[in-house]
Amino acid sequence: MLNQNEFRFVLSGGGTGGHIFPAIAIAQALLKINPQAKILFVGALGKMEMERVPAQGFEIIGIPISGFQRRISIKNIKLPFLLLYSLWKCRNILQHFKPHAAIGTGGYASGPLLFVASLKNIPVYIQEQNAFPGLTNKILAKRAYRIYTGFSGMDNFFKADKILHAGNPVRQELEHCIVSKPEAYAHFNFNPQLKTLLVLGGSLGAQPINAAIEQGYKTLLEHNIQIIWQTGSRHFDALKTKVTSHVQLHLQPFLTRMDYAYCIADLVISRAGASSLSELICLLKPSVLIPSPYVAEDHQTKNAQALADVGAAVLMPESHVSVRLLSTILDVMQNDAQREAFRTAMHPLQHPDAAKVIAQDIFKTLQTST
């Protein structure tokens, strides 16, 4: 049986925060169980994981993989060659690092890494965040030793004996959020007597959400609603020139202290990526969910529907945002009973310590299989 001090883990998850944050959370949980374990990440060159992972203290190696462009693009011609080179590079990484397990949370780089790992008989673990799995995970599922799911009912897509429904890991600073409300209000220079709206459009931003808030933010301020508005990096510069500064408005491209933002948020406007929903559920935050219609298999709508069906959130199609979002925000903000009902409905959906459960299972299965 292998000594836990000898364990080495290679992880891959990237492209968006929804893949990166669960991978980081699992890595942190592995180290919490065994601080001597060795961790290495593999990411896609030019993607956000190449910055976010090192910022959390982990080493990452980039491979030149990218996704298929749905429109006509020269990049699609290059893709087969990039894939072959990425497979070769993953082979070299695995030969040098010699991991005992490969863990993937989705994203461009996880496909080549986990495929090569399976060819080398390295145990493969998949964490699927969404209610409808991505193509990469569906392909890799046959090669996986264990599949950790964020939603129940995933035996429609994966073999039941491989599934462990552990919930979705959330960022360590949010999983056991202990910041005080006075501290959080002070961070934003906000008034504790007023309600606070948190607007999120994903790590890159969502233009329809930003446009609706730009159109209605003055009305919200007139109703004494404070706004924490994460615009996304793509939209910040343009919005900064259009939006009038106000003591009750905090405008940023990316929020570095999400714990503070969530702490004082009475209502959250958000896309419906699995990681975002997991954070909302973990912290019992009422929300209006606006699924992105541009994601594979429309999986964000399926994610949001899982909450809306049990009365845990408002689901609003993106096509309705320009007409309905402002009035919905005002209605929910003024209805304390509705927000409390959302919180109550989220309780059964909570999976505390999801990253810890996953990490413990990985160690357990590796110990019993070696």
Look up the CATH number of the domain holding residue 297: 3.40.50.2000
Alpha-carbon gap, residue 169 to 351, rounded angstroms: 9
83/112 same-domain check: yes
For the chain, the helix, strand and coil percentages under 3-state DSSP, each to the nearest 5: 50, 15, 35
State whether 162 and 37 are in the same domain.
yes
For residues 106 and 134, the answer to whether their CB atoms sit within 8 Å is yes
Residues 328, 223 share a domain = yes
- Residue indicated by tokens 């073999």: 159
Length of the chain: 370
Query: What is this structure's pTM?
Result: 0.84
- Rounded CA separation 27/202 (Å): 22
Query: Do residues 13 and 162 both lie within one domain?
Result: yes
**Domain identity same for 301 and 330:** yes
- Same domain as 215, residue 79: no
Place of tokens 């990166």: 20
Question: Are 178 and 110 within one domain?
Answer: no
What count of other Cβ atoms lies within 10 Å of the Cβ of residue 246? 13
Taking only the tens of pLDDT, the chain with its 370 residues reads 556 568 999 999 887 778 898 999 999 999 999 999 999 999 999 988 999 999 999 999 999 986 655 555 566 667 688 889 999 999 999 999 999 999 999 888 999 999 999 999 999 999 999 988 888 888 899 999 999 999 888 998 999 999 999 999 988 777 767 789 999 999 999 999 999 999 997 655 688 999 999 999 999 999 999 999 999 888 888 999 999 999 999 999 999 899 999 999 999 999 998 889 999 999 999 999 999 998 877 889 999 999 999 999 999 999 999 999 999 999 999 999 999 999 999 999 999 899 999 999 999 999 886 5
Given the structure tokens 């699995």, which residue do they identify?
Answer: 274
Residue type, position 23, single letter: A
Listed residue (233, 273, 260, 174) closest to 51, CA to CA: 233
Answer positive or negative: Cα dihedral of 148, 262, 205, 332.
Answer: positive
157 plus 191 within the same structural domain: no
Counting the structural domains of the chain, the total is 2
Contacts of residue 123, defined as CB under 8 A and 6 or more positions apart, other chains included, come to 100, 101, 102, 145, 365, 366, 369
- Give Cβ neighbours of residue 107 (< 8 Å, ≥ 6 apart): 12, 13, 14, 15, 16, 19, 20, 43, 44, 47, 49
- Interhelix angle 321-333/207-222, rounded to 10 degrees, is 40
Give the contacts of 214 (CB within 8 A, at least 6 positions apart).
239, 242, 243
Q: Which domain holds residue 10?
A: 4-168+351-369
Residue 112, φ and ψ in degrees, nearest 5 = -60, -40
The verdict on 148 and 226 lying in the same domain is no
DSSP character string of 194-261: SEEEEE---SS--HHHHHHHHHHHHHHHHTTEEEEEE--TTTHHHHHHHSPP-TTEEEESS-S-HHHH
Same domain, 114 and 214: no
Domain identity same for 345 and 355:
no
The DSSP-derived string for 126-166 is EEE-SSS--HHHHHHGGG-SEEEESSS-GGGTS-GGGEEE-
- Short-list 203, 369, 170, 186, CA closest to 283: 170
Residues 25 and 54 in one domain: yes
